[in-house]
Amino acid sequence: MFNSLEINGYRGLKHFEMKGLGRVNLLVGRNNSGKTSVLEAVLILASLANPRNIWGILRNRNEEAEVDLASLYGNPASEPDYDVNHLFHGHQITGGSFSISADNKARGIGCSVLGSEVTLILSFKEQTDYIPLTIPKILNRKNVFGVIWNPSGQVINCQYIPTCLLSVAGLNYKWDDIGLTWKEDIVLQAIRYVEPDIEGILPIQKRGGFKVKLKGNDTPVPIGSLGDGMWRALALAVALVQSKDGFLLVDEIDTGLHYSVMSSIWKMIFETAKKHNIQVFATTHSLDCVNSLASICREGVDEGSEVTIQRLEPEHNRAVAYTEDEISIAARRHIEVR
């Protein structure tokens, strides 16, 4: 687990710190305060800047570069190009740099740019690796996936759920490691919070997706017919059980979920995270989501909290951290912490 984070020059975070992190950390703050950027930074750091993850980050934000459409005429299979400028503070890659580190730089990564030369610096307590990557300002699949990426440091398992959810194909692919194991029990528990009558779940192999068996109904029904909240609960649970010994990152964790189920969702996440060594970072704008987090907080805990709220404020360089006791008090007294 990370106890602290320091981010410099990444997106809108010129210099930013988070301290006193726990097992479950809920990030709050106004729009464009950097909550999603923190999730991305953890993903980049945990994966040691795996180019696939960097490409995925740009794709999730639809940060396509401006290209000459005429050059694509007659080639509908062309991959979209993505602009890496947006990864750097001020949206400028020229002469830019960013660094992300955890636990007083015990684990860190830096990216510096000079002309068309991009150097990734992976730093650890006992060694430093320099990986030069020659890429243009436009980052795409062909350029990035051809890079020889072989960092000597340990890549940490990290599952990231953006606001647009995971793809149906992605969920089906992950199921091969979930079905008929302890992981399936947790997934069933999660989706039963949304629909208590679910008795079982089955992946649809031919066309993708899932069907569920409902109590009193002999015919399985597609899970999509039970609403968007069901998909969100399924995606959360699938990503959670795949995060063993690593990180679960969730943007807008309560999307599609009614406030009445969030206390149960938080309890499931916390118990699973504690049992299987998972650290959770999630974001929200919802007061109901913040208040429901109090259901898993212990009162009287001032330091070493297993649950924290981290409030990001654009005008400050450090997140405001709330302990379990403070979260409980805020929920009882209706104190605004967002």
Tell me the three state secondary structure of residue 83: strand
Q: pLDDT (tens digit, 9 = 90+) per residue, 122-169?
A: 565 555 665 554 444 344 433 343 345 666 678 999 999 998 867 788
Instruction: Give yes or no for residue 234 having a pLDDT over 90.
Output: yes
pLDDT band at 208 (very low <50, low <70, confident <90, very high): confident
Burial of 219 (0-12, 13-18, 19+ CB in 10 A): exposed
Residues 184-212, mean pLDDT to the nearest whole number: 93
State the pLDDT at residue 201: 96
CA–CA gap between residue 308 and residue 52 (Å, rounded):
30
- What's the whole-model pTM score? 0.89
CA–CA gap between residue 261 and residue 103 (Å, rounded):
34
State the pLDDT at residue 150: 63
- Which alpha helices (DSSP H) does the chain contain, by range? 35-46, 51-60, 141-145, 168-175, 182-194, 228-241, 259-275, 287-293, 324-333
Q: pLDDT (tens digit, 9 = 90+) per residue, 3-12?
A: 999 999 999 9
pLDDT band at 80 (very low <50, low <70, confident <90, very high): low
Residues 75-79, mean pLDDT to the nearest whole number: 50
- Measured CA to CA in angstroms, residue 10 lies from 31, 91, 97, 215, 316 at distances of 17, 9, 8, 49, 15
Percent residues over pLDDT 90 in the chain: 62
Q: pLDDT (tens digit, 9 = 90+) per residue, 36-72?
A: 999 999 999 999 888 788 888 988 998 876 655 445 4
Averaged pLDDT of the chain: 86
